[in-house]
């Protein structure tokens, strides 16, 4: 997704991570394995003659590695490289000293200029295996700066027992805090903010926020303990930093959390408590791809300019950018925090239009996408954009789209696996893949955004 929604690639929620289960292994002997290929998530894959499947963190295709098993289940074993016996020519020394300790940037051992090539192979195989189809030959992955690109992150504000304040990320396979002084994937502005005013801005409010979270009865004894506080940071591309943390007072939220970003000639309002794309440098390429897909749909007659439906719309990003093309626009987003920004973005953008230009009818709906689809009849070939979370389209939403008069949709995905799954269901209903593009918004990680254009 490109919109403000519940996504956090640098520090994912690990409370259900199977690697923390009782099956975690310690002290097992290392094996020597030849890595066959890379799979979703960036691990190396090996299938042994006895049928055992291994997923190896830190390994590249073709490498001969000594691997320590870390987790075992009935149908697979997870392991980690402890020594590279025969390295891949594409292997490089990780730039960050916290590689393997911090929970982010797990692909730093692969040369930056090779990462898109490897990810394309992974996604072509995923699509073949999960959707029983081939990605188009002209499928391309757009890339940008490999370092210093990330304008959004969640960091941990950590108070040490001696009262010092440090910033860190969650550790690999744990919730431990890994302090850092400089993160090579963050923008210069974010690094400067963390080294400079961040600590003082947060220090005067962190105790208050923890009192709010823990309640009056716990506040006194908690003040003497070390404490961790997640903080969302956002650089709007002009070096202006907004931030948010749980329990933030409204006065501070209004002063420090709200941000404005200029994309494709539009000024987009949001705040640091909700999701926004983390790579502003590459975002215009996705915008151009979606615009072209919309124009092609209108020109083909499979979609019309009567109605743009933007499902999982967040702050109305796509609707705001595309609104000049449509007579009516409906944004659907369940998060109330996003809805207020969608209303502001579309109203401000509409007000900025020329007097000669006709403003579209705008409706911003706060509801789950599947509920809205079930309750509203789409009986015209509307232009439809869906940008769901990692879980993909809910079953009811997909079925409602299939039963509607929509003959063409633009599907923006932050998880290629659920995208392939959903495409297989659309294909069964008569849709075909007209166009596909990838966007490497998160260099040094195995994550990939994709855009599909589906039509029938």
> What's the pLDDT tens digit per position in 25-35?
555 789 999 99
What is the per-residue pLDDT for 227?
72
pTM more than 0.75: yes
Residue 136 to residues 59, 91, 114: CA-CA distances in angstroms?
A: 28, 28, 20
Q: Do domains 18-91 and 120-145+279-455 have the same CATH topology?
A: no
How far apart are alpha carbons 12 and 313 in whole angstroms? 22
Rounded distance, CA 267 to CA 227, Å? 37
CATH fold of the domain at 120-145+279-455? Rossmann fold (3.40.50)
**Residue with token string 């706060």:** 366
Burial 18-46 (b: 16+ CB within 10 A, else e): eeeeeeeeeeeeebebebebbbbebbbbb
Two tokens, residue 443: 């260099």
Of 281, 351, 355, the C-alpha closest to 323 is 351
144: nearest Cα among 113, 122, 121, 111: 113
Which two tokens mark 374? 């079930």
The confidence score (pLDDT) of residue 201 equals: 82
Contact 285, 314 (CB under 8 A): no
* Topology given in CATH for the domain delimited by 18-91: OB fold (Dihydrolipoamide Acetyltransferase, E2P) (2.40.50)
Sheet holding 383-386, edge to edge: 140-142, 432-439, 449-455, 408-413, 383-386, 308-311, 328-332, 361-365
In 35-176, beta strands by DSSP E: 37-38, 44-47, 53-57, 64-72, 77-86, 140-142, 152-159, 165-170
Answer left, alpha or beta for residue 264, where phi above 0 means left and psi between -120 and 50 means alpha. Answer: left
What region does 238 belong to: left with phi over 0, alpha with psi -120 to 50, or beta? alpha
Per-residue pLDDT tens for 356-374? 456 789 999 999 999 999 9
Strand 241-244 with 266-271, pairing: unpaired
The three-class DSSP label of residue 297 is helix
Q: How many C-beta atoms lie closer than 10 Å to residue 96's C-beta?
A: 18
Token pair for 290: 């979606």
Q: How many residues does the chain have?
A: 456
Provide the pLDDT for residue 348: 60
Position of tokens 């897909």? 293
Give CA torsion, residues 174, 121, 114, 3, to 10 deg: -60
What ranges do the domains of the chain cover? 18-91, 120-145+279-455, 152-271
pLDDT at 211: 46
What is the predicted pLDDT for the residue at 351? 52
pLDDT of residue 340: 92
Element (H, E) at 403: helix 395-403
3-state secondary structure of 306: coil
Q: d(Cα 419, Cα 426) in Å, to the nearest integer? A: 10
Other CB atoms within a 10 A radius of the CB of residue 175 amount to 15
What confidence score (pLDDT) does residue 24 get?
Answer: 57
Give the CB-side neighbour count of residue 361, counting CA atoms within 13 A.
Answer: 6
Query: Which residue has 């420090």 as its token pair?
Result: 256
- Using DSSP, state whether 353 is helix, strand or coil: coil
How far, in Å, CA of 342 to CA of 345, rounded? 5
DSSP 29: P
Inter-residue long-range contacts of 325-331, CB under 8 Å, 24+ positions, other chains counted:
325/294, 325/295, 325/298, 326/360, 326/383, 327/358, 327/360, 327/361, 328/360, 328/361, 328/362, 328/363, 329/360, 329/361, 329/362, 329/363, 330/363, 330/364, 330/365, 331/362, 331/363, 331/364, 331/365
CA neighbor of 66 nearest in space, from 28, 109, 93, 34: 34
Q: Which parts of the chain register pLDDT below 50?
A: 1-22, 208-226, 354-356
Give buried/exposed letters for 410-423 (b at 16+ CB in 10 A, else e): bbbbbbbbbbbbbb
**pLDDT value of residue 26:** 55
| Angstrom distance (rounded) from CA 439 to CA 290 | 12
């Amino acid at each position: 997704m490109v919109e403000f929604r519940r996504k956090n690639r640098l520090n994912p929620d690990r409370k259900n991570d199977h690697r923390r289960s009782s099956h975690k292994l310690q002290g097992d002997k290392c094996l020597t394995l030849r890595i066959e290929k890379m799979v979703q998530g960036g691990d190396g894959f090996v299938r042994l003659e006895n049928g055992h499947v291994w997923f190896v963190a830190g390994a590249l295709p073709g490498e001969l590695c000594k691997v320590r098993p870390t987790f075992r289940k009935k149908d697979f074993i997870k392991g980690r490289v402890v020594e590279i016996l025969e390295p891949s020519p594409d292997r490089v020394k990780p730039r960050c000293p916290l590689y393997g300790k911090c929970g982010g940037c797990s692909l730093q051992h692969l040369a930056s200029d090779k990462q898109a090539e490897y990810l394309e192979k992974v996604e072509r195989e995923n699509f073949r295996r999960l959707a029983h189809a081939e990605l188009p030959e002209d499928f391309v992955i757009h890339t940008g700066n490999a370092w210093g690109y990330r304008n959004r992150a969640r960091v941990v504000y950590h108070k040490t027992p001696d009262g010092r304040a440090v910033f860190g990320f969650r550790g690999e396979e744990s919730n431990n805090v890994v302090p850092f002084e400089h993160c090579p994937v963050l923008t210069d502005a974010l690094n400067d903010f963390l080294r400079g005013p961040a600590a003082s801005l947060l220090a005067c409010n962190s105790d208050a926020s923890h009192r709010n979270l823990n309640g009056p009865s716990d506040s006194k004894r908690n003040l003497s303990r070390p404490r961790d506080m997640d903080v969302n940071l956002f650089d709007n591309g002009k070096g202006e930093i907004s931030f948010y943390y749980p329990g933030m007072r409204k006065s501070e939220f209004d002063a420090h959390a709200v941000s404005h970003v200029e994309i494709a000639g539009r000024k987009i309002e949001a705040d640091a408590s909700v999701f926004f794309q983390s790579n502003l440098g590459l975002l215009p390429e996705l915008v151009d791809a979606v615009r072209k897909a919309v124009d092609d749909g209108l020109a083909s007659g499979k979609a019309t300019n009567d109605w743009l439906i933007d499902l999982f719309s967040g702050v109305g990003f796509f609707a705001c950018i595309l609104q000049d093309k449509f007579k009516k626009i409906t944004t659907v987003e369940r998060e109330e925090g996003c809805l207020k920004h969608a209303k502001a973005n579309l109203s401000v953008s509409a007000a900025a239009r020329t007097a000669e230009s006709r403003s579209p009818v705008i409706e911003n709906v706060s509801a789950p996408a599947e509920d809205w689809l079930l309750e509203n009849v789409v009986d015209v070939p509307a232009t439809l954009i869906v940008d769901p979370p990692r879980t993909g389209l809910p079953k009811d939403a997909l079925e409602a789209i299939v039963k509607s008069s929509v003959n063409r949709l633009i599907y923006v995905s932050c998880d290629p696996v659920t995208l392939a799954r959903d495409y297989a269901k659309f294909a069964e209903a008569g849709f075909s893949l007209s166009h596909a593009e990838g966007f490497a918004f998160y260099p040094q990680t195995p994550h990939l955004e994709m855009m599909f254009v589906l039509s029938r």
